């Protein structure tokens, strides 16, 4: 009997499958589109314009705090290695570019903060975008060491889970759970709200996905099957 469940019903097939294709190396050459175009369309206009390419860089995706307690699906598209870490020029990181789908939690509001004028960059106003769910964000950067390690182990097409504050590697080695990390962070946030000057530094946590409930898994399967039917 064949199952359409991408998270649970493909284990036997995965075990017998060929090894995953190697990740494309960083710095891969751009295809020679001019050569291909010239061979197919002699004399045609070879120039793309801003209007034919679309404006900007697409919609701004959420960040991990925006996704807290929400059911999401990560579909890895490619892995980027040895990427610079923001504000830490001597450090590198690996992370996956994923297709992110947010499935529950009500309308998702993503805020781009205002920015003061800096050098040649003009000041910008705060921008709020609200999305109805389910909502898919293409080419979403899934930052975080714990997330990257789990995606390295992924053998099925997609990863389903609920976003939580989780321990760091050191915390896991001490036996801490996501409940411990969430409680510690919430206690610190309450102290910071009451007396910011005495709250101290926030506890070290990482972002992770915990297992979805049976009801959430059923909802995810309905979304997946509808998506398959739509092609």
Distance between CA 31 and CA 19 in Å, rounded? 26
CA 119 to mean position of chain CA atoms: 31
Is the Cβ–Cβ distance between 75 and 168 less than 8 Å? no
pLDDT digit string (tens) for the chain, length 231 residues: 555 566 655 444 444 554 444 444 455 555 666 666 666 666 777 676 655 554 444 556 899 999 999 999 999 999 999 888 888 878 899 999 999 999 999 999 998 888 898 888 888 888 899 999 999 998 899 999 999 999 999 999 999 999 999 999 899 999 999 999 999 999 999 999 999 888 889 999 999 999 999 999 999 999 999 988 887
Q: What is the DSSP letter of 19?
A: P
From residue 223, alpha-carbon distances to 39, 64, 71, 132, 160 in Å are 43, 22, 12, 14, 12
Place of tokens 């994923």: 98
Largest CA distance in the chain: 71
Compute the C-alpha angle 208/211/215, nearest 5°.
Answer: 135
**In 33-114, where does DSSP find H-type helix?**
33-40, 50-53
Q: What's the pTM value of the predicted model, to 2 decimals?
A: 0.72
DSSP 116-154: --BTTBPPB--EEEEEPSSEEEEEEEE--HHHHHHHHH-
Segment 197-216, tens digit of pLDDT: 888 899 999 999 999 999 99
Share of the chain above pLDDT 70, in %: 75
pLDDT at 140: 93
Q: What per-residue confidence (pLDDT) applies to 118?
A: 87
Q: What is the pLDDT of residue 87?
A: 80
């Amino acid at each position: 009997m064949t199952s359409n469940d991408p998270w649970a019903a493909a284990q036997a097939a995965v075990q017998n499958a060929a090894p995953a294709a190697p990740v494309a190396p960083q710095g891969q050459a751009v295809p020679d589109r001019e050569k291909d175009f010239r061979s197919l369309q002699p004399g045609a206009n070879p120039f793309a314009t801003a209007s034919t390419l679309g404006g900007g860089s697409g919609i701004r995706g959420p960040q991990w705090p925006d996704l807290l307690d929400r059911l999401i699906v990560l579909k890895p598209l490619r892995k980027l290695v040895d990427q610079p870490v923001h504000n830490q020029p001597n450090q590198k990181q690996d992370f996956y570019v994923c297709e992110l789908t947010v499935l529950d939690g009500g309308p998702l509001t993503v805020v781009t903060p205002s920015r003061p004028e800096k050098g040649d960059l003009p000041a910008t106003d705060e921008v709020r975008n609200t999305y109805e769910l389910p909502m898919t964000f293409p080419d979403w950067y899934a930052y975080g060491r714990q997330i990257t390690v789990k995606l390295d182990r992924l053998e099925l097409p997609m990863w389903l889970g609920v976003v939580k504050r989780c321990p760091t590697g050191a915390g896991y080695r001490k036996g801490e759970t996501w409940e411990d990390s969430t409680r510690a962070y919430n206690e610190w946030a309450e102290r910071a709200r009451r007396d910011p000057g005495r709250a101290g530094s926030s506890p070290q946590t990482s972002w992770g996905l915990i297992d979805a409930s049976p009801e959430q898994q059923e909802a995810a399967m309905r979304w997946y099957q509808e998506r398959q039917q739509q092609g």
